Structure 1
Amino acid sequence: MKLLDISKLLNARVLTGSNLLDYEVTSACGSDLMSDVMAYVTENVVMLTGLINLQVIRTAEMMDIKAVIFVRGKQPLENMVELAREKNIVIMATSLTMFPACGILYEAGLKGGLGTGR
Structure 2
Amino acid sequence: MGTNLAANYVEVIAVILFGIGFTDLFLHKNLIMKIIGLNIMDTAVYLFLAAKGYIAGHKAPIIVDGVQSTSAYINPVPGGLVLTGIVVSVSVTALMLALTIRLYQQYHTLNLDIIAMKVKEKEE
Q: TM-score range by the shorter chain?
A: under 0.3
| More helix as a share of residues | 2
- Tell me which structure has the larger Cα radius of gyration: 2
Greater RCO structure (CA 8 Å; 6+ sep) = 1
Q: State TM-score, norm by structure 1.
A: 0.22
| More strand as a share of residues | 1
